[in-house]
């Protein structure tokens, strides 16, 4: 297995270093190191809870996590940290030439984290924790019962708390939703995101109509019986092929697949789930999570155990997973190089299925109900629906009680489908019950960034498809590491995008990619 070695400093990739000779910065560095370590320990408890922990330990684990959260909050909100940040800011302003981009980013991120911890009053944090914990339970029960009314009043409470949160974080904000969005995509204004998603909607809806009018692609052979152990063995093989480093990670099972960084770039773990009737969903999810892991495993060792030692924003993080899941994992070139691996794992049916048919099946487009199962073309419409709804909810333009009707109408208008019940409609995603308002749009931003980065990658490697077809994947990971991964959180999302591609977020790249791909797949 290829391990990822630290990047050597060259003209193109200068060394990353902190200026620790300055006492002010050293103090701040040490204080935030404790926060970074505690954050990683918090993530480890969570990973264990979702993958290994016996069910009976749920109660005690909840208490342990609550205790750790209190300790973590005390560190983030400590007045001594506030003083250290202020001193470092003064030093930076007085002698900017003495400090590196890493130094500036350390101070910026420390300020962000401290501000968030101190602006939210203790009673609010407690109310919020209770509301989301009870809300999550009720969401699950309501989903099982297919009865939104069991969750509606919790959601009303959570929406109200979101408005309060925005108010605490930025009392002067004109658009509370923008404040919530900023916690996931720092540095990008909401208008830029709105514009991008609007462009995406305008391009996607007519393209989808053309696809739907064309002859549908057959994907029947992707369904069948594919035993669990064989699927897991295939997953490990695919991970090895795309360069996942098992010396610094592992693959486990979880109800909802995720990647977690427990000390990047040394320990970044994956989870997946297996559907024995579907051969593709597990492999795609593994490639997706591996894209997240590549990001964290590629972070420069100088950022280890610092508050900059993680991905810079939700959108950029998602761009890395989407690159491996979609742009590579659903491409003809990749499967040209790897189809024999799938054929070895499941001779029936794949020895009988021509490669071209398999690739077309992987890219079948369908107006569907469930976001996480959506194809690349319709996926963004699922996001746009949530984005429009949550903006209106936070702005008070629509009421929680009216959500089922609003949701179903939008699904009909954009995707041509109507959910038979709210469990496969507005209650399908965990996000709102967990208080994650402002998060959904970053999924589509991730798709935009992925296509934009891919265009630049193609300029650097015009022979990309030929190399993929020969089975090579390492050159892509290396390019990503040198241009994107190694910087951790030093640069904010859109700033990083500009540095890599020469321009800020530009959805035209994704639109061009989708148009080219589905025109080809459907012979439009």
Residues of the shown chain interacting with Zn ion in the complex, contacts defined by CB under 5 A: 321
The catalytic site residues sit at 289
Q: Where does 95-185 have alpha helices with state H?
A: 101-119, 122-145, 149-169, 176-184
Q: How far apart are CA 395 and CA 392, in angstroms?
A: 5
Q: How far apart are CA 147 and CA 280, in angstroms?
A: 31
Which is closer to Zn ion, CB of 22 or CB of 321?
Answer: 321
Which is closer to Zn ion, CB of 410 or CB of 477?
Answer: 477
Which is closer to Zn ion, CB of 162 or CB of 314?
Answer: 314
Nearest approach in angstroms of CB 210 to Zn ion is: 29
Nearest approach in angstroms of CB 419 to Zn ion is: 24
Nearest approach in angstroms of CB 460 to Zn ion is: 24
Q: Where does 308-440 have alpha helices with state H?
A: 314-322, 332-345, 347-350, 355-362, 376-394, 403-415
Number of other CB atoms surrounding residue 205 within 10 Å: 14
Closest C-alpha to 456, from 408, 406, 506, 415:
506
Which is closer to Zn ion, CB of 335 or CB of 439?
Answer: 439
CB 159 within 8 A of CB 133: no
Q: Which helix (H) or strand (E) holds 65?
A: helix 58-77
Nearest approach in angstroms of CB 265 to Zn ion is: 18
Which is closer to Zn ion, CB of 7 or CB of 271?
Answer: 271
DSSP type of residue 217: P
Q: What residue is closest to Zn ion based on CB?
A: 321
Sign of the torsion angle spanned by Cα atoms 304, 314, 497, 376:
positive
Count Cβ neighbours within 10 Å for each residue of 276-289 and write b for 16 or more, e otherwise.
eebbbbbbbbbbbb
Which is closer to Zn ion, CB of 84 or CB of 384?
Answer: 384
Reduced to 3 DSSP states, what percent helix, strand and coil does the chain have, rounded to the nearest 5?
65, 5, 30
Nearest approach in angstroms of CB 27 to Zn ion is: 36
Which is closer to Zn ion, CB of 336 or CB of 428?
Answer: 428
Q: How far apart are CA 243 and CA 477, in angstroms?
A: 8
CB 181 within 8 A of CB 441: yes
CB 374 within 8 A of CB 341: no
Helices 441-460 & 474-483, crossing angle to 10 degrees?
110
Nearest approach in angstroms of CB 324 to Zn ion is: 10
CB 38 within 8 A of CB 71: yes
């Amino acid at each position: 297995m290829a391990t990822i070695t630290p990047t050597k400093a060259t003209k193109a990739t200068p060394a990353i270093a902190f200026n620790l000779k300055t006492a002010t910065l050293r103090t701040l560095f040490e204080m935030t190191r404790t926060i970074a370590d505690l954050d990683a320990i918090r993530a480890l408890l969570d990973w264990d809870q979702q993958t290994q922990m016996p069910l009976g330990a749920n109660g005690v684990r909840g208490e342990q996590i609550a205790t750790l959260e209190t300790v973590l909050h005390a560190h983030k909100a400590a007045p001594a940290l506030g003083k250290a940040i202020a001193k470092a800011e003064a030093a930076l302003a007085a002698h900017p030439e003495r400090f590196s981009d890493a130094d500036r980013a350390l101070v910026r991120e420390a300020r962000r984290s401290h501000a968030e911890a101190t602006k939210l009053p203790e009673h609010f944090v407690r109310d919020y924790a209770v509301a989301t914990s009870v809300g999550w339970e009720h969401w699950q029960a309501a989903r099982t019962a297919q009865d939104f009314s069991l969750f509606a009043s919790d959601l009303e409470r959570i929406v109200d708390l979101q408005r309060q949160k925005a108010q605490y974080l930025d009392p002067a904000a004109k658009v509370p939703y923008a404040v919530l969005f900023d916690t996931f995509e720092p540095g990008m204004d909401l208008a830029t995101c709105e514009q991008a998603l609007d462009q995406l909607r305008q391009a996607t809806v007519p393209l989808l109509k053309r696809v739907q009018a064309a002859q549908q692609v057959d994907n029947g052979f992707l369904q069948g019986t594919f035993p669990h152990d064989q699927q897991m063995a295939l997953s490990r093989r695919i991970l090895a092929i795309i360069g996942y480093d098992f010396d610094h990670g592992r693959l486990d099972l979880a109800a909802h697949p995720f990647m977690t960084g427990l000390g990047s770039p040394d320990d970044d773990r994956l989870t997946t789930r297996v559907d024995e009737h579907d051969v593709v969903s597990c492999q795609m999810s593994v490639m997706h999570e591996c894209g997240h892991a590549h990001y964290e495993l590629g972070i420069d060792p100088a950022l280890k155990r610092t508050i900059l030692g993680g991905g810079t924003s939700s959108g950029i993080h998602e761009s890395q997973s989407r690159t491996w899941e979609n742009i590579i994992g659903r491409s003809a070139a990749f499967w040209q190089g790897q189809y024999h691996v799938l054929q070895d794992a499941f001779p029936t049916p794949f020895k009988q299925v021509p490669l071209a048919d398999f690739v077309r099946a992987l890219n079948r487009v369908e107006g569907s109900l469930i976001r996480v199962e959506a194809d690349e073309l319709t996926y963004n419409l699922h996001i746009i629906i949530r984005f429009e709804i949550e903006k209106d909810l936070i702005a008070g333009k629509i009421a929680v009680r009216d959500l089922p009707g609003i949701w179903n109408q939008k699904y009909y208008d954009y995707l041509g489908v109507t959910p038979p019940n709210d469990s496969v409609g507005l209650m399908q995603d965990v996000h709102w019950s967990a208080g994650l308002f402002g998060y959904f749009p970053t999924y589509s931003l991730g798709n935009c960034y992925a296509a934009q980065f891919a265009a630049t990658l193609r300029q650097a490697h015009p022979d990309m498809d030929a190399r993929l077809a020969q089975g090579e994947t390492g050159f892509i990971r290396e390019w990503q590491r040198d241009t994107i991964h190694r910087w951790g959180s030093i640069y904010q999302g859109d700033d990083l995008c500009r540095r890599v591609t020469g321009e800020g977020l530009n959805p035209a790249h994704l639109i061009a990619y989708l148009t080219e791909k589905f025109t080809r797949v459907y012979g439009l």
